[in-house]
Structure formats: C-alpha cells, structure tokens
Amino acid sequence: MKNFNGTVLFLDRSDINTDEIIPAKYLTEITKEALKPYLLEDLNMDSFDSNTDLEGKQVVITRENFGCGSSREHAPWAFEVNGLYMVIAESFARIFRQNMFNCGMMAIALPKETIERIFLTFSGKETTIETDLEKNIFVVQGGGEKMEVPFTVSDYDRSLVEAGGWLEFADSKY
C-alpha cells in the first residue's frame, strides 16, 4: 500500500483539467517515468510554477471538479511518479477519481466548508498531512496550527487501495 502522508501542495482553483495536469503532447510516452518532468506544466493559475512548486510535495489539496476532461490515466501516473499519491478536493471528475483508486492511490472528497477552512488556515504555510486509515482522519499541521479532519472512503475504494489497484482485484475475482 502506498504512503498517504506528507507535505501539501495547495492548488487554489476549481475545474483543473487533465490537459493541465499532463498535456496531450506527452501522451506519446509509453512509460510512466517519462511523464515526470511535465506534471502540471500547463496549469493555468497565477503564482504557480511547476518547475519549483512541486518539489518535496506528497499531497494535493484543491477545490471543485478536479481532473475533469480526458480519460487519460497519465494524469494520476504523472502524480504517482512525482511521489504525490493523494488528492483531496471538494469534488472530482468521475474518471479521474476512479483512475486514482484503480492505481491504488487516493482521491478524497471533503465538504466545501472543510476545504475552505483548510485553505484559510493553512494555505501559504508549510503544511503536512498525516492520514490515519484506521480512524479515517487526516491530521493537518502547519504554521503552529493543527486540525483533525474526518473523511470517508468506501469499502470498495479501500479494498482497491489495499490490493494495490483494480487489475489484481478484478483478475482474482472475476
């Protein structure tokens, strides 16, 4: 199972699409590793630089409808090869969310107010998250503040994360 703890990358925008996460021109790559330098290269957001801002980050916190657009699993892979295994958002596009769990990664939706509170308290500060998968709680810490945030993950999604993805799960079961 992957590790869901680490330093947070805040992306304060809704509707971040898969073309922004990994531009179509890199879909000619046939290995995941080759995607590494291009994550979020075309992100349309002021004050974000994919060359410097991804350094040392393991978890993304963002707003609504994250990962909309194309079905490309290259989007979760681009996160994966950069060591980012979890995205927390207000909501996700269906295919992106499924792709994350299918790869044994996590895409967790939290209520709008909670996301807003996290942004207000921690955005701009060096922030870390610890994920307690037994109690279903995130412990968010930064700038002297600490917040415990409960989350839900369905039994099915959890079994995908534990199995390391849908392929092994399905092949053994169907």
- How distant, in Å, are the alpha carbons of 19, 67, 99, 141, 167 from that of 71? 10, 9, 8, 33, 17
Out of 59, 76, 88, 106, the only residue in the binding site for another protein (CB under 8 A) is 76
Q: Does 174 bind another protein (CB under 8 A)?
A: yes
Q: Pattern 142-161, binding to another protein, x per CB under 8 A?
A: ------------xxx--x--
At closest approach, how far in Å is the CB of 20 from another protein? 6
Q: Does 83 bind another protein (CB under 8 A)?
A: no
C-beta pairs of 139-148 under 8 Å, 24+ apart in sequence = 140/8, 142/8, 145/121, 147/117, 147/118, 147/121, 147/122
Q: Does 48 bind another protein (CB under 8 A)?
A: no
What DSSP state is assigned to residue 22? S
Is residue 54 helix, strand or coil? Answer: coil
Q: Does 129 bind another protein (CB under 8 A)?
A: no
Out of 5, 7, 50, 65, the only residue in the binding site for another protein (CB under 8 A) is 65
Cα–Cα distance, 167 to 164 (Å, whole number): 8
Residues of this chain that bind another protein (CB under 8 A): 15, 17, 19-20, 23-25, 27-30, 42, 44, 64-65, 68-74, 76, 91-96, 98-99, 102-103, 154-156, 159, 165-167, 170-171, 173-174
